[in-house]
Amino acid sequence: MPTRIRQFEAETSPAGVRAFYQKAVEGKPLTARIDDWEILSWKQGTALRTLRLRPCRAALSPCTEGTLSESDLSLAAAPASPAPGRPADSLLSTDLETNDGGRRARILVWHDESSPSWAAARLVRELSILGLALERRVPVTRPGLEGLGLWFGARGREAVATVTRHGSGTTVTLQMIDHGVQDGR
């Protein structure tokens, strides 16, 4: 689900920040405490707003640090776009998309029962169909790990993958980045 998270510091107490948001956002929030964070959440239609607050750790005067997140729940049930190179019967453990100033990134992690070499070959084939050319292939050389690091590139886009043996199968970590550039890299 699309979520925007903003981090902030305010030169006032958490009670002051809480009071501000309780006036600014309609409805009564659900509240909770997690570790030293105070959490307030409001659901309005398909929007979910969550505020995390705590006193600044090393401030001499009243100070609050926190985050405000806004999630669009209408897209939560929408199917994700396919993951290139991911077999249908694999276990997807991470699918995270970010957009920062026109630079879009997607991080995918999945686990399947193929060998690292087979998973790497499938990934190279699928990404080449998307116009990403394999630029570099490096063996993973750490003790206890067997696999490959793969780097791909195209005009304004790149991808990096790590494909490692995990038990009797393989774990693939793929990061794809679109720089939002049409004329060059």
Of 151, 170, 169, the closest CA to residue 160 belongs to: 151
What pLDDT does 183 receive?
Answer: 46
Spatial contact of 88 and 30, defined as CB atoms under 8 Å apart: no
What pLDDT does 26 receive?
Answer: 86
What pLDDT does 185 receive?
Answer: 43
Residues of the chain with pLDDT under 50: 183-185
Spatial contact of 169 and 93, defined as CB atoms under 8 Å apart: no
174 is written with which tokens?
């793929």
What pLDDT does 127 receive?
Answer: 94
Which residue, chain included where needed, has tokens 């550039």? 181
User: What is the reported pTM?
Assistant: 0.59
What pLDDT does 48 receive?
Answer: 86
In the chain, count H helices and then E strands. Answer: 2, 11
What pLDDT does 70 receive?
Answer: 87
